[in-house]
Amino acid sequence: MATDIEDAAHPVDAAAVMRLLGHRPRLLALGEPTHGEDALLDLRNGLFRQLVEQQGYRTIAIESDCVMALVVDDYVTSGEGTLDEVMEHGFSHGLGASAANRELVRWARAYNDGRPTSEQVRFAGFDGPLEITGAASPRQALTALHGYLAARVKADLLPCAQETLDRLLGADDQWTRPAAMRDPSRSVGQSAEAKELRLLADDLVALLDAQTPHLITATSREAWDRACLYGRTATGLLRYHFWMADTSSARMERLIGLRDSMMAHNLLAVAERTPTLVYAHNSHLQRDMSTTRMWDQPLLEWWSAGALVHARMGKEYAFLATALGTIRHQGVGTPAPDTVEGILYALPEDCRVVAAPRLAAALGDTPPAVRVSPWFGYAPLDPARLAGSDGVVFVKDVLRRGTCPDGGLEEAAARGEEPGGGDVHRA
């Protein structure tokens, strides 16, 4: 078995990934089993650079706020702003503090400099304006959508004036109360004003759709795409806030599912525009149903963004899961030899990519043991889910200051744990 797996393992580079997949998928996803390790992000950077330069991928999407990421996209495509400003204002979840993310943005700007628009690499966030502690006010997205339409369609076609939106929205801090995440009574999502806003947002999105030919001609496809993003975000946030006020036992499971649904629609939109690379937690990208435990909740199940996208795109969606051997600075030591990670750990190289079907065949009919991580922040690879991925990227040892020599790794500037502290991603 060891020989079969070693023969199927290859260096992590674009050529090996394309041979493994057999074609260039429209949307190629690389997962991570933990957050906050720049060693993994440096490996991502090296692979994504190759895929852009050699395979023609033109958008890089990460697990960050889709609206905030517009700041990054403007910078990498036109040089608008400074790198420091972009890292401060263009990322959510603390991702702007990452040295590897900074290097990715710096590289994208340098790559685009002097290139025609059609050859530039774009940047996107595909998460909603959401944290595990709450959700943003819908003001920014609603106001931007309304402003785009108000400047270009007949006034009597608009469902309301901006002043009406302002009155119904009220103060932003009532939308962002952290206590509302655990206490539905603190949410304004089912107030009379919020319900009216949901109807108005729906009418604005319908108007945007109905006026598509005129709007693209009057502005550009790029401007219309952004208006669509504002529309998806506004309706998604209002829906999310509505269910934050729900008191049923399905509340948290519904909220998690809504988040990944927003992610999926954002990914479908960017992949429609250009061939896209995406990076996020394995649990958001896998084809199988995802599970997690939060606080005192029972096991929660939901369909991940990857599962939703795969249902729409079929073979045009590909997913590589990442698994790790050790993260010793987080207390994750050498994996047991009877686990998938333990079997891969016996390979002599630091970083390898293995075709998931060949790995599953080499493992035989008796599945390996399921690894249990002593640290909640690392989600081990479930051997039963190998069939749900196209390949496995295995990193033998994750170190604070880098790990895989093939990735050109730099000093890490980890951003810390998943917001909320009590979450467990299960890949």
What are the tens digits of pLDDT across the range 332-355? 999 999 999 999 999 988 999 999
d(C-alpha 355, C-alpha 243), whole Å: 40
What is the enclosing helix (H) or strand (E) of 302? strand 300-303
| Beta strands 351-355; 391-397: pairing state | antiparallel
Q: Are 317 and 310 in contact (CB under 8 A)?
A: yes
| Beta strands 300-303; 317-326: pairing state | unpaired
What are the tens digits of pLDDT across the range 29-78? 999 999 999 999 999 999 999 999 999 999 999 999 999 999 999 999 99
Which residues face 125 on adjacent strands?
62
Place of tokens 């030919």: 213
347 φ/ψ sector (left φ>0, alpha ψ -120 to 50, else beta): beta
Q: What is the DSSP string of 160-176?
A: S-HHHHHHHH--GGGT-
171, pLDDT greater than 70: yes
d(C-alpha 73, C-alpha 80), whole Å: 9
Give CA 357 to chain center in angstroms: 25
What is the arrangement of strands in the sheet containing 300-303, beginning at the earlier edge strand?
Answer: 300-303, 289-293, 424-426
Place of tokens 């943005």: 105
25, pLDDT greater than 60: yes
Question: Which own/partner contact pairs does 364-371 have at CB distance under 8 Å and 24+ positions apart?
Answer: 364/1, 368/338, 368/339, 368/340, 368/342, 368/343, 369/336, 369/338, 369/339, 370/339, 371/335, 371/336, 371/339, 371/340, 371/341, 371/342
Supply the DSSP symbol for 179: G
Give the relative orientation of helices 38-55 and 99-112 as an angle to the nearest 10 degrees.
20
Compute how many other C-beta atoms are within 10 angstroms of the C-beta atom of residue 6.
Answer: 16
Provide the mean pLDDT of the chain. 92
Q: Are 112 and 120 in contact (CB under 8 A)?
A: yes
Compute how many other C-beta atoms are within 10 angstroms of the C-beta atom of residue 170.
Answer: 15
Query: Sorting pLDDT into bands at 50, 70 and 90, what band is 407?
Result: very low
Alpha carbon separation from 242 to 189, 196, 286 (Å, rounded): 4, 11, 27
Quick one: average pLDDT of 153-163?
98
Structure confidence at residue 41 (pLDDT):
97
d(C-alpha 258, C-alpha 264), whole Å: 10
201, pLDDT greater than 90: yes
Compute how many other C-beta atoms are within 10 angstroms of the C-beta atom of residue 154.
Answer: 7
| Beta strands 130-131; 134-135: pairing state | antiparallel
Higher pLDDT, 6 or 86: 86
Place of tokens 């996107």: 124
What are the tens digits of pLDDT across the range 258-307? 999 999 999 999 999 999 999 999 999 999 999 888 777 789 999 999 99
Query: Sorting pLDDT into bands at 50, 70 and 90, what band is 3?
Result: low
Query: Sorting pLDDT into bands at 50, 70 and 90, what band is 366?
Result: confident
Quick one: average pLDDT of 166-170?
98
Instruction: Supply 26's token pair.
Output: 């429209």
